[in-house]
Homo-oligomer: A and B are copies of this chain.
């Protein structure tokens, strides 16, 4: 009787949205490379030679998850890691040639998938959609480390 309407719960909606995206990714982009894997590859295309921690920071993955994703990408020869000679704790990450080719190929498909995913929204609605989600996510992330709010924003 005291049941709640989950369609007014942002967390529930976020989960459904992510699941829907997962499925579409699998059918339209790749069954091999996942969306988080692509995000990591993308970070390394933007800036080759990053270490794991920084990659995780850029794409929003904690150190454990980044380590797993990188292990899998390494197993498929899409990326390789070498010990930083300047700092023996770090590993420097770089895509292989095959990794670069894969990233290029998936970039095209990802763009197509986003079109399909966002098809129900008009151009203005898409802008609003991005803006609202970004604001909610950013605020929640700040609740986590209030430390660097000043740095991150102005």
A: residues with CB less than 8 A from B are 1-4, 6-25, 35-36, 39, 42-43, 45-46, 59-60, 103-104, 107, 110, 113-114, 116-121, 125, 128-130, 132-141, 143-144
> Do B144 and A23 touch across chains, with their CB atoms under 8 A apart?
yes
> Do B140 and A20 touch across chains, with their CB atoms under 8 A apart?
yes
11 residue pairs from A and B, CB less than 8 Å apart: A7-B130, A7-B134, A9-B110, A10-B117, A11-B22, A13-B134, A14-B18, A15-B21, A117-B136, A128-B132, A129-B133
Task: Please name all residues of chain B whose beta carbon is closer than 8 Å to the beta carbon of A129 when the two chains form the complex.
Answer: 10, 132-133, 136
The distance from the CB of A42 to the nearest CB of chain B, in whole angstroms, is 5
